[in-house]
Homo-oligomer: A and B are copies of this chain.
């Protein structure tokens, strides 16, 4: 492993350490550089070889969370192509994702309404990417005009995120109920959008 690879690996270790610290009681703004360095097993001074400051790390976490979301959507698409209902598979894939990556999703939810304007803007941008990808998919699948498809995709993402927020604090049984509810709500939105488009 050359020096560049080593540097990237340490950087990734810092990112992973920060995600692991973001549990239900700890927000990004309450996280200290010293704490992250300790968790990553590096000296606090080495931190600056990778990030300008703790805020730059925060923005990187938001970017990574957004990337994880888009990978999630691609995973759902592959499963759908293998056969199955779009809404059911998408919600199930999403619920699996947030169960396995609670802190990634918590970061997005919390910073979306958090006290840092920079983090809020970064989260909005990531959610926007997610909505745009879903819009393209809706146009392809349902042949809706773009303006209606955009509204439909935005509503769906908002409902799925709200359901995800509830699911974070829930046990397996409650999570199944939440998944069933949001699937029905997504159907309402889809029926409604199709009906609206056909006026």
Q: How far is the CA of A161 from the CA of B161 in the complex (A)?
A: 12
* Contact A196/B188 with A113-B106, A113-B113, A165-B112 known, Cβ cut-off 8 Å: yes
Q: How far is the CA of A185 from the CA of B166 in the complex (A)?
A: 21
Cβ contact within 8 Å between A117 and B155:
no
With a cutoff of 8 Å between Cβ atoms, the chain B residues found around residue A195 in the complex are 191-192, 195
Chain B binder among A10-18, A21-29, A68-76: A21-29
Cβ contact within 8 Å between A154 and B169:
no
Partner among B26, B112, B189 whose Cβ is within 8 Å of the Cβ of A192: B189
With a cutoff of 8 Å between Cβ atoms, the chain B residues found around residue A181 in the complex are 151, 154
Report A146-182 CB contacts with B as 1/0, cut-off 8 Å.
0000011011001101100110010000000000010
| Chain B residue nearest to A189 in the complex (CB) | B188
A157 shortest CB reach to chain B, Å: 9
A77 within 8 A of B: no
Cβ contact within 8 Å between B184 and A151:
yes
Q: For the side of the interface on A, what is the size category? A: 35 or more
A33 within 8 A of B: no
With a cutoff of 8 Å between Cβ atoms, the chain B residues found around residue A192 in the complex are 187-193, 195
With a cutoff of 8 Å between Cβ atoms, the chain B residues found around residue A79 in the complex are none
A37 within 8 A of B: no
Cβ contact within 8 Å between B165 and A159:
no
Most B Cβ at <10 Å: residue of A109, A166, A189, A196? A189
Q: How far is the CA of A184 from the CA of B150 in the complex (A)?
A: 11
Task: For the A-B complex with A110-B115, A155-B188, A188-B196 known, give 20 more contacts whose Cβ atoms are closer than 8 Å.
Answer: A24-B115, A24-B117, A27-B114, A30-B115, A109-B113, A112-B165, A113-B165, A117-B169, A124-B166, A152-B185, A154-B181, A155-B159, A155-B185, A155-B189, A158-B159, A159-B159, A188-B193, A190-B192, A192-B192, A195-B195
